[in-house]
């Protein structure tokens, strides 16, 4: 695939890949639970953890990370440079398309998750050093506050700065910085309701579970 049309096709494929709602699939397998009707209403690993438990959450987390990695690998394999854009910029755009697909999935009425895991997968493929730098900071933020959302917001804010430092040192490309900035904005935007609850003091802390009744799903 080459040129603008090839790039557009790759981005469409990346969006569809990101749009696969693994949280919804997990809920159905686990007993007909629709995550959109429980907890935060999101389909990512955090709401899966509260609703279905750690085993399902771990599976959803890995699959959502995999979507970000796969979108970038796909772009690198399929796009043939012809002077339109460098492969890494197409790959970065594909990673961003996967995050958008995860957050606004065409398969479930343009609903979805918050994009943290899929963003992380994209960073892992583009700039693994940034992931290595961010994970301890995010874990400390979650540990000190007991809010997963605080760790996610910290990651979204710090990712472009960390990627820029590594790019300035010649350890990663500037396409990764662009991806980190754009994906970070999507992550922060998807946490608007969390930010409102943090301000109001009503945000759920880690470990708080959601009571699920499968009878409501039948």
Domain segments of the chain as ranges: 3-217
Query: Which pLDDT belongs to residue 83?
Result: 66
What are the average pLDDT values for consecutive 10-residue runs of the chain, which has 218 residues? Answer: 85 96 93 86 88 93 96 93 81 96 95 93 96 94 90 93 96 95 94 90 73 48
Query: Which pLDDT belongs to residue 10?
Result: 95
The tens digit of pLDDT for each residue in 94-141 reads: 999 999 999 999 999 999 999 999 999 999 999 999 999 999 999 999
Residue 94 Cα to chain centre, angstroms: 13
**111 bridge partner residues:** 105
User: Distance (Å, rounded) from C-alpha 97 to C-alpha 156?
Assistant: 16
User: Distance (Å, rounded) from C-alpha 11 to C-alpha 210?
Assistant: 36
User: Distance (Å, rounded) from C-alpha 124 to C-alpha 106?
Assistant: 25
What single-letter DSSP state applies at residue 169?
Answer: T
What is each CA distance from 208 to 47, 50, 152, 162, 167, in whole angstroms? 10, 7, 17, 31, 39
Query: Which pLDDT belongs to residue 172?
Result: 93
Query: Which pLDDT belongs to residue 215?
Result: 44
């Amino acid at each position: 695939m080459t040129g603008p049309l090839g790039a557009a096709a790759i981005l469409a494929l990346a969006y569809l890949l990101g749009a696969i709602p693994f949280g919804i699939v997990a809920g159905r397998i686990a007993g007909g639970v629709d995550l959109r009707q429980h907890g935060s209403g999101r389909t990512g690993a955090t709401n899966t953890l509260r609703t279905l438990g750690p085993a399902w959450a771990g599976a959803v987390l890995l699959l959502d990370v995999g979507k970000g990695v796969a979108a970038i690998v796909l772009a690198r394999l399929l796009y043939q440079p012809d002077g339109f854009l460098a492969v890494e910029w197409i790959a970065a755009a594909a990673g961003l398309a996967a995050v958008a697909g995860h957050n606004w999935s065409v398969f479930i009425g343009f609903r979805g998750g918050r994009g943290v895991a899929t963003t992380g997968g994209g960073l892992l493929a583009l700039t693994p050093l940034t992931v290595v730098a961010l994970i301890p900071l995010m874990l400390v933020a979650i540990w000190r506050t007991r809010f997963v959302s605080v760790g996610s917001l910290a990651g979204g804010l710090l990712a472009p700065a960390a990627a820029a430092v590594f790019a300035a040192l010649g350890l990663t490309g500037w396409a990764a910085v662009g991806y980190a900035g754009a994906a970070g904005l999507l992550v922060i935007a998807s946490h608007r309701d969390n930010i409102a609850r943090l301000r109001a003091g009503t945000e759920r802390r880690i470990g708080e579970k959601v009571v699920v009744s499968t009878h409501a799903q039948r």
